[in-house]
Amino acid sequence: MQSHQIQPAPEPPGLTPQAMAAWQSFLQAHTVVTRALERELVATQRLPLAEYDVLFQLSAAPDGRLRMAQLADRVLLSRSGLTRLVERLEGVGLVRREVCPSDARGAYAVLTTTGRARLGAAMAGHLRSVQEHFGDVLDCQQMESLRVALDQLVAANLAEPAACAQEVAPTKP
Amino acid sequence: MQSHQIQPAPEPPGLTPQAMAAWQSFLQAHTVVTRALERELVATQRLPLAEYDVLFQLSAAPDGRLRMAQLADRVLLSRSGLTRLVERLEGVGLVRREVCPSDARGAYAVLTTTGRARLGAAMAGHLRSVQEHFGDVLDCQQMESLRVALDQLVAANLAEPAACAQEVAPTKP
DNA sequence: GCGTCATAATTGCTTATGCAATCATATACT
DNA sequence: AGTATATGATTGCATAAGCAATTATGACGC
């Protein structure tokens, strides 16, 4: 690999056309795949993706429970967004809320038995959808490179949640 | 009833853990990058990404004009979604609508001079954002593989907009 | 020319979501 | 202990977006 950003570069080439194209494809791919999955999940299970994701993340967590904030991070929703979503799920009995014993401000979202069952009913089909629309499209190598690249993106953008003038500068001056 | 799609293969490994992980990373990457870009664009230019994208796509089109449906496809919005969005942009004078002379049902969205200027003011900064949050994170090779993979995803999922039993079967029976 | 069907865009309606403000509790400082 | 500040979650509010129904026009057969 040739280019790791040259320090005193007089002319950073800016965004390459390659990168621009990739960015467009990224947006497009996300939209089309995501819509397909949502469509199928709703059609077959009457369950939107966001709801599914909550059930899934809870089921993957120890005791089927997670603090609201952590759950929000995992399902990629704002705090308030998650509050409403859990509210809805609680309304239909798939999730219940419990207060946190060690911190009275905190709340747990807990997967109910019905919730677990509902997830069980939906999961196989949804995984097949993901496979069909995403997994089967790429071969193993591609998939692995893709994962690596995407994780880099995540890492880079979690490192700088706000605008950051300096690069990675965790060291206090 | 038990599922019997085990017709030909005794055990297709289904969705690999790799693919699952990649899928998660995909969703996460989209969210974090997209939010960062939106945040910066709104903060510096008071212009949401969707709006920017409309201006951009129009400016890239011949004569700065596009039929509503085509524009909707390019900015990845539903038809109705685009109608409202263009409405808003027309309201602030960045876009104007024109009837199509050859087809009275059709409408063009046309970039106004102000719209072009607004885009001009926003573009450089936004491209820098894309570079920072996306372009700079991956090297050239990664970027190219990423683009290819994503385009495969797009192609695969455009081919089957609805549930499709048969593969690519555009031939009318 | 006229009915039928397809297509372009819009509108009604519902809903999910984020931001900013708020409330309640915890933690820290003196 | 008592006040100040931070943190977890929720609420008010505004808004963007999709789906289904609607309108307006074009195209096609007879």
What average pLDDT values come out for chain B (173 residues) when binned by 10 residues? 56 82 96 94 95 98 97 97 98 96 96 97 95 95 97 88 43 34
Domain that holds residue A80: 28-122
Distances in Å between the Cα of B75 and the Cα atoms of B53, B86, B157 are 6, 11, 17
Q: What is the pLDDT of residue B163?
A: 43
Residue B135 forms part of a structural domain:
yes
Residues in A 146-165 with any Cβ partner in B closer than 8 A: 146-154, 156-158, 160-161, 163
Query: Amino acid letter at B78?
Result: S
- The contacts of residue A89 (CB under 8 Å, 6+ apart) are A51, A54, A55, A95, A115
Q: Does B6 touch chain A (CB under 8 A)?
A: no
Q: What does the pLDDT average to over A7-15?
A: 66
- By C-alpha to C1' distance, D23 is nearest to B105
CB B82 within 8 A of CB B152: no
- Alpha-carbon distance of B57 to B51, in angstroms, equals 10
Helix (H, G, I), strand (E, B) or coil at B160: coil
Nearest by Cα to B72 from B61, B60, B86: B86
Residues in chain A closer than 8 A to B16 (CB atoms): 135, 140, 143
| A64 φ/ψ sector (left φ>0, alpha ψ -120 to 50, else beta) | left
d(CA A109, CA A73): 13
Minimal CA–CA distance to B147: which of A24, A63, A111? A24
What sign does the dihedral A123-A127-A128-A133 (CA atoms) show? positive
pLDDT at A15 over 80: yes
- The answer to whether residue A128 sits within a structural domain is no
Residue-wise pLDDT for A23-36, tens only, equals 999 999 999 999 99
> Tell me, what's the pLDDT at B15?
84
Give the span between the Cα atoms of A69 and A77, in whole angstroms. Answer: 10
The answer as to whether A143 is a domain residue is: no
Size of interface A-B (CB pairs under 8 A): 179
Q: How many domains does chain B have?
A: 1
Query: Which residues 78-107 of chain B have a CB within 8 Å of chain A?
Result: none
Tokens matching residue A60: 């993957």
In a domain, B19, yes or no: no
DSSP β-bridge partners for residue A51: none
How many CB atoms are closer than 10 A to CB A136? 15
Which residues, 6+ apart, have CB-to-CB distance to B129 below 8 Å? B36, B37, B40, B41
Task: Using an 8 Å CB-CB cutoff, list chain A residues near B149.
Answer: 138, 142, 145-146
**Residue B59's domain is classified under what CATH number?**
1.10.10.10
Share of chain A above pLDDT 70, in %: 84
Closest among A62, A41, A60 to A52, alpha carbons compared: A41
For residue A45, being part of any structural domain is answered with yes
pLDDT score for B168: 41
CA distance A54 to A58: 6
Domain-located, residue B3: no
Task: Please write the tens of the pLDDT for every residue from A99-139.
Answer: 999 999 999 999 999 999 999 999 999 999 999 999 999 99
Task: Indicate whether B1 belongs to any domain.
Answer: no
Pick among A4, A137, A139, A164 to test the B interface (most B CBs inside 10 A): A137
User: In one letter, which amino acid is A49?
Assistant: L
Kindly state whether residue A115 falls inside one of the protein's structural domains. Answer: yes
